Amino acid sequence: MKNYYRDFLASNECSISLALNSLYKRIVVSDFIQKGASTFANRILLLGMGLITSVIVARILKPEGRGLYAVTIAITAAGVQFGNFGLHASNTYHAAKAWSL
């Protein structure tokens, strides 16, 4: 099996550390990597904030208040679902319809 990396390094008279350093620099300035890392960091931050919020709410409400909280959240979610009149789904439908013409 041919080793392309070794051939590349030998033909360009580079050391492995220089090649890895060059690869690292290209990865760090890559727009895709930066956006992916920011999305990942955002998701981790949201997960942590959700965990902290859940613990605080559970401590404040105690067991007897958590049922009332769950009912309040369910009613609010249902109100949001009915209140947006399906616009989020219709936007997807109309955008796809425009591209199919």
Q: From 20, 22, 3, select the one nearest 11 (Cα to Cα).
A: 3
pLDDT of residue 5: 63
Which tops the pLDDT comparison, 60 or 99? 60
The answer to whether the pTM exceeds 0.75 is no
Which tokens sit at 87? 């616009």
Residue-wise pLDDT tens digits, 29-80: 888 888 999 999 999 999 999 999 989 988 998 888 888 888 999 999 999 8
Q: From 25, 2, 22, select the one nearest 12 (Cα to Cα).
A: 22
pLDDT of residue 38: 92
* CA–CA distance, 54 with 13 (Å, rounded to integer): 57
